[in-house]
Chains A and B, each alone.
Chain A
């Protein structure tokens, strides 16, 4: 085994080569880079955490900044998954600890981060079952009933899915299986995990130590969702289609270019309107305007890359605020979102 310093220098040297492989969608070369590191004595866990994970974070940034297409990101992710498979088949210790199920929330397709957590746990002796991307709650629960599961690790990368995540967390807790959650969807510091009453781990090593601590695992934080009694969340969900339709009509009326959109552009605009409503709903669910403003900041950046001015977002948020006069919390979040959209450069740092 290489010394820590040597291993670090190997990893640092391999990182740009690995990114090139991802950019070229060259699966074989990417696997070779990882296997080369293994041969040089770098541990499997360090390759996963210090090569694959940061490369994936970089890919995510390129996608978010519109430098990469969804297809490119998807291909790179697939290659990273192949690398993970190659690395973990190289080092597969005999499981000596309990069974852990790792899964993505229903509707959640970012399978690589939880896959990395799964592999780190496997390397640390847990018996890990990885159920993959977008696992329906019914499928997960039926798995829990068929196997004696020590704990479930659920991943959610997009805050928009937090209400669904909460239903899934509850389904596991009802099956009497401890749950821990991870992923950017729960906020960078996991604050929305605590709000939903779930233990939170930002990465594989943290998840491993939490799983080993049965005392803490059996005591998740109390859910803090008293604000849901105002029924703004379900009421907003019911009005989802109406809001999107009306939002699209409003844009057509006020922004002449929208009238000339191709069907694909209309689809993508409709999808964006859907995201605005869904993130607003998620923000209502966890009662945090920050969830919504973070999203608005991101959306404005993405749209700028596509040549859509932030004024269109401001316009839509104003329009929604007009339709949601009976929603005090939503109104407040929309106002805060508008403030962010009006000053995007200041907040997003460019």
Chain B
């Protein structure tokens, strides 16, 4: 026997099955060789060539080859198949000894035989085969044929699973972001194409008898184009209605027609189109139904259907969150709107400016407040203050203060007495509710004078003293003191009368401006000196621009986004010009 596996004669007539060189075994595919043409019983009929020294017993190659997982073809130098191992015969039943491989019925083998290619992959009789050709010493060739069907399928399944996981991960990432229900629905529909469908339609659970739908259609190689519409509940396809009630419709034959009937398919119902509908689960009932259709070339196998349901679950979670967010923001917006400071109304002879920047950027409200009320005698009551605490609770308290002032100014026009009344009212409320809330504020009344100037009466309750921008360009600090409002009965309230010449401005601001921490080195307080310095020479600025400038100075000073509420209110004696 030869030391090599590679000569045709060595492998001839080996028994495929039981390991013996023996008579035919009908239970197995027999080895075929040139001349035998079938089950062979002539073991040893051809004397083997051997390079081994006499007396050394060679291994039984026929038995060994028969147990290989790889099949083996041996070709003569002229390309004619000399020998077909049992494994090869099983994998390539059409290849028989005596055939020329170049003319083989297996086109990939023929191609390899023609081109001299060494390695090839092919599918034959439902199996995935890998072929490896090795040149033999006698000029012939050995063809090792490996069945890789399972390995390839496992790899394909793994890849499919990986791509599904990746798809769902992407979906989760993309759907987590839009919190607006319409945007979430549009995003979900768009994401379904092309992975799940060529056309995807998301029908939202009906509200007030109408169901909104979003449709994504793949437009060539480009991304899906999303459009939307509304259907009356009566006009919904039955399968959609069924899915909206929570049941997944399994009779799917007529789905394509239903989708076409609803006008969702780009063309008429094509016979080679398939569709599925799944409920999009919500908190209690489904928030919608997802219809997907695609070409029949891509059937929905078990994995694909699981993917569709997993996608619908994610879309449902995103839609539920978005709807919940919408409802909550609607409540929050309504409440905020009642607490947002009201802009001053234009009054003859006086120009107003305001700036407001709450500490919490996502909120429009905070613990600073300002406002104006026109009094019956033509004067304007104005105020700016800051309550203890931050955020929503503080904002609610500012709302109470503003309502108090709104009511009290009907009985009292003098700012100092008004602050006294407000103090009593606050003390009563805070004592009744056991909450120790207090405020600092400046209340003033402004009246324009015939010369184009204005007369101001200011009362202070523990707030930062106002500044006055004089026509000379200088900035004066108004000597206004006083105690906190809402802490003790009968507090000391500061009172100052002042006159603005035409073009002069009075500025009220909150401590968020001067206590802004930052600066180029960080951590330093902005301070009243810097504010006075920065406003010196700004006397010609319009009232609104001045308030904005104060806000900007404070914000520019801040190094990080973290700051207290910032508010400013300016009143400028119009002077009949600017």
Instruction: Give B517-557 as 1s and 0s: 1 = Cβ < 8 Å from A's Cβ atoms.
Output: 00111100000011001000110111011001100100110
Bound complex: CA A27 to CA B362 (Å): 33
**Which residues of the partner chain B approach A69 to less than 8 Å between Cβ atoms?**
537
* Chief secondary structure at chain A's binding surface: helix
**Which residues of the partner chain B approach A241 to less than 8 Å between Cβ atoms?**
520-522
**Least Cβ–Cβ distance between B541 and chain A, in angstroms:** 4
- Is A245 in contact with chain B by the CB < 8 A criterion? yes
A106:B561 contact, CB within 8 angstroms: yes
B578:A267 contact, CB within 8 angstroms: no
- A residues 61-82 in Cβ contact with B at 8 Å: 69, 71-72, 74-75, 77-79, 82
**Which residues of the partner chain A approach B326 to less than 8 Å between Cβ atoms?**
146
Task: Give the most central of A26, A75, A240: most B CB within 10 Å.
Answer: A75
**Least Cβ–Cβ distance between B206 and chain A, in angstroms:** 19
Task: Give the most central of A27, A77, A145: most B CB within 10 Å.
Answer: A145
Stretch in contact with the other chain, from B90-98, B171-179, B195-203, B411-419: B171-179
Q: From the candidates A25, A133, A240, A263, name the one contacting B529 in the complex (CB within 8 A).
A: A263
**Which residues of the partner chain A approach B183 to less than 8 Å between Cβ atoms?**
148-149, 175-177
- Is B124 in contact with chain A by the CB < 8 A criterion? no
Bound complex: CA A138 to CA B358 (Å): 12
- Is A8 in contact with chain B by the CB < 8 A criterion? no
B555:A75 contact, CB within 8 angstroms: no
B542:A75 contact, CB within 8 angstroms: yes
Instruction: Give B121-164 as 1s and 0s: 1 = Cβ < 8 Å from A's Cβ atoms.
Output: 00000000000000000000000000000000000000000000
- The closest CB in chain A to the CB of B326 belongs to A146
Bound complex: CA A240 to CA B521 (Å): 8
Bound complex: CA A264 to CA B537 (Å): 14
- Is A270 in contact with chain B by the CB < 8 A criterion? yes
- Is B180 in contact with chain A by the CB < 8 A criterion? yes
**Which residues of the partner chain B approach A218 to less than 8 Å between Cβ atoms?**
223
- Is A174 in contact with chain B by the CB < 8 A criterion? yes
**Least Cβ–Cβ distance between B40 and chain A, in angstroms:** 67
**Which residues of the partner chain A approach B284 to less than 8 Å between Cβ atoms?**
none
Bound complex: CA A273 to CA B542 (Å): 31
- The closest CB in chain B to the CB of A142 belongs to B362
Instruction: Give B221-237 as 1s and 0s: 1 = Cβ < 8 Å from A's Cβ atoms.
Output: 01100000000000000
**Which residues of the partner chain B approach A215 to less than 8 Å between Cβ atoms?**
222
**Which residues of the partner chain A approach B182 to less than 8 Å between Cβ atoms?**
148
Bound complex: CA A137 to CA B360 (Å): 11
- Is B333 in contact with chain A by the CB < 8 A criterion? yes
Bound complex: CA A151 to CA B223 (Å): 18
**Which residues of the partner chain A approach B174 to less than 8 Å between Cβ atoms?**
176
Instruction: Give B453-465 as 1s and 0s: 1 = Cβ < 8 Å from A's Cβ atoms.
Output: 0000000000000
- Is B361 in contact with chain A by the CB < 8 A criterion? yes
**Least Cβ–Cβ distance between B132 and chain A, in angstroms:** 42
B521:A139 contact, CB within 8 angstroms: no
**Which residues of the partner chain B approach A271 to less than 8 Å between Cβ atoms?**
520
**Which residues of the partner chain A approach B545 to less than 8 Å between Cβ atoms?**
74-75, 77-78
Query: Residues of A at under 8 Å CB distance from B?
Result: 24-28, 69, 71-72, 74-75, 77-79, 82, 106-107, 109, 133-134, 136-139, 141-142, 144-149, 174-177, 215, 218, 240-241, 244-245, 263-264, 267, 270-271, 273-274
Give the interface size bracket for B toward A.
Answer: 35 or more
Given A133-B548, A274-B520, residue A25 in contact with residue B179 (CB < 8 A): no
Q: From the candidates A25, A133, A145, A264, name the one contacting B178 in the complex (CB within 8 A).
A: A145
**Which residues of the partner chain B approach A270 to less than 8 Å between Cβ atoms?**
519-521
**Which residues of the partner chain B approach A177 to less than 8 Å between Cβ atoms?**
178, 183
5 additional A-B residue pairs with CB within 8 Å, beyond A145-B179, A146-B333, A218-B223: A25-B578, A71-B541, A74-B541, A176-B177, A270-B521
Bound complex: CA A138 to CA B357 (Å): 13
Bound complex: CA A222 to CA B514 (Å): 42
B180:A148 contact, CB within 8 angstroms: yes
Closest 7 CB pairs of A and B: A136-B361, A78-B545, A145-B179, A274-B520, A138-B361, A71-B538, A270-B520
B552:A146 contact, CB within 8 angstroms: no
**Least Cβ–Cβ distance between A89 and chain B, in angstroms:** 14
**Least Cβ–Cβ distance between A27 and chain B, in angstroms:** 5
**Which residues of the partner chain A approach B549 to less than 8 Å between Cβ atoms?**
71, 74
- The closest CB in chain B to the CB of A71 belongs to B538
- The closest CB in chain B to the CB of A174 belongs to B177
Q: From the candidates A139, A149, A240, A273, name the one contacting B362 in the complex (CB within 8 A).
A: A139
Bound complex: CA A79 to CA B530 (Å): 26
B544:A78 contact, CB within 8 angstroms: yes
Bound complex: CA A263 to CA B364 (Å): 35
B177:A245 contact, CB within 8 angstroms: no
Bound complex: CA A273 to CA B556 (Å): 15
- Is B325 in contact with chain A by the CB < 8 A criterion? yes
- Is B45 in contact with chain A by the CB < 8 A criterion? no
**Which residues of the partner chain A approach B362 to less than 8 Å between Cβ atoms?**
136, 138-139, 141-142
Bound complex: CA A220 to CA B76 (Å): 62
**Least Cβ–Cβ distance between B527 and chain A, in angstroms:** 10
A146:B329 contact, CB within 8 angstroms: yes
